[in-house]
Structure formats: structure tokens, C-alpha cells
Amino acid sequence: MFFKSKSPLAIYAHPDDEVIGATHAMRECSQLLSLAFVTDGAPLEEDSPEYYYPNTPHLYGPEYIAFRRAEAKKVADISGISRPLHFAGLTDSRLHLQITQLLSGVRGIIKELDPDLIITHSYEGGHLDHDLVVAAIWKILSETQNNITVCETPLYSKKGEEITHNERIARHKSWQSMAVPPDSRKAEAMAAYASQQIDLQYFDPKVFEHYHFQSQSQLAEMAQIANGGETLYDPRDHQFILQLLRE
């Protein structure tokens, strides 16, 4: 599927999401791929103190945001991506409070880059930011007549009492799908996100990546809580996805 695309675009919520689930796609599409991140990769200190001093050497603020962008650029270089990266600059883990800006930012990226393929998150209940981004993409595409295929990439989700990593989820059973080995430099790319090792330590750089392709609108599914109601965030936060659908 990737080799057929003439203008692929990968949109992820945070710098490091792409290296968890889409290194094969980044390598396959490298010369044509545009890569965009919706948030600044810097959750507020009161929300996530584990990322900041004294738990790490980093202080919250503009320097940390610049550091996260530099990490993303290094990973893009490792993956052979030559096009400039795009950053919408919204606040990490606060997308639910920035619904209007989220839709505007993603809509602007899609309009500017005019993709025929969008690679992004799965609607899987792993992180509210992730689900809001993919819901925003499906909503925006439902408003256009463009023939754009969406490729969802599972990152992590809840399965009973366990957290699954890079596993196919039930909603993709009727989609065109492929499971492939990651790029050979995935471990190097993951290591380049030095600030995110607190999370990336749980991901095996050798496991297969899953890609699921769909061109028919999935907007109706966004009205339901992801993953059959099993979410790693409070299921009551689905109200923010409903708010997005009403915008």
C-alpha cells in the first residue's frame, strides 16, 4: 500500500508515537513522507512530574519543547525523512481542552499537504490524545470529497488487566491489513528519544508493526468508547471525543 502513495502524511499526537508504531512506513515512504505532530511533547509539570527535574535533568519550558523537536528531527533523519517536520504546537495531554485548536491544526496540515494517505493512531483507548487525533482526522475527512486512505497503527491498549503493545485490535478485522517487521534501525530511532525512555522501555523494537487501511468513513465508530469500553484513560473522558464530533 505504501508504494502506491504519492503524497503520504503521518500525523501523530506526540513525538515518539511514530517510532513506536510506524518505522516500516517511515522507511518505505521516506522520500515522499510528510510527518506532523499535534502536540509539543511537553505535558504540564503538574500532570507529569516524572518527565522533569528532579526526576530527570529536564526543566519544563521552551527549552524542553525545543529538545523534543530536536529528538523528532533526529529520528526523521535516521528514518531517511527529508521533508520538514510539522508541529501544531498544542499542549501534550491537554488536547481534550483544545478541541477547536486541534481540529483547526489538523485541518490546516491536511489542506496544506494534500495527502492521498494518512498514517496515524488507531482508535484503541490507549491515550486520550491519540484517540482525539484519529477522531479529528476522520471527522475532517468526512467533510471533504477527497479520496484519502487512512492507515491506523496500533500502539498500545487495554486487554483485561494487561496492556498490549503493537497488537492488532478487533475493530480492524475487516480492514485491509498488513503485519511487517519494523525498520532495522528502530532500536536506534527509539534510543534517539532520550527524554522518553521512561515510556519506550516497555516497547520491543523487534516486534512486528501492524498497519490497517480504510477509505470508508469511520466517524460513526468514534461515537462509541474505544476498544469495547476498555480504555487506559477514564471512560468518562469519551465526552471530549463526542464534543469533537459535534464541533
Domains assigned to the chain: 2-246 (3.40.50.10320)
The pLDDT, as a whole number, for residue 226 is: 97
User: What pTM was computed for the model?
Assistant: 0.97
d(C-alpha 99, C-alpha 101), whole Å: 5
| 7, burial (CB in 10 Å: exposed 0-12, middle 13-18, buried 19+) | middle
> Using a CB cutoff of 8 Å and minimum separation of 24, what contacts does 141-148 make?
141/110, 141/217, 142/217, 142/219, 146/114, 147/116, 147/215, 148/110, 148/115, 148/116, 148/117, 148/118, 148/215
The DSSP element (H or E) to which 191 belongs, if any, is helix 186-192
pLDDT at 2 over 90: no
Chain-centre distance for alpha carbon 116: 18
30 pLDDT band, cuts 50/70/90, is confident
d(C-alpha 79, C-alpha 125), whole Å: 27
- Residue 181's contacts (CB-CB under 8 Å, 6 or more residues apart) are 24, 206, 208, 209
CA-nearest of 160, 159, 158, 141 to 150 is 141
d(C-alpha 128, C-alpha 124), whole Å: 9
d(C-alpha 78, C-alpha 26), whole Å: 10
Kindly report, residue by residue over 119-157, the tens digit of the pLDDT.
999 999 999 999 999 999 999 999 887 789 999 999 999
d(C-alpha 5, C-alpha 240), whole Å: 32
CA-nearest of 182, 121, 174, 110 to 148 is 110
Beta bridge partners, 37, equal 12, 87
CA-nearest of 195, 180, 216 to 16 is 195
For residue 166, give the C-alpha cell: 503493537
Q: Average the pLDDT over 70-98 and give the result.
A: 97
Kindly report, residue by residue over 207-238, the tens digit of the pLDDT.
999 999 999 999 999 999 999 999 999 999 99
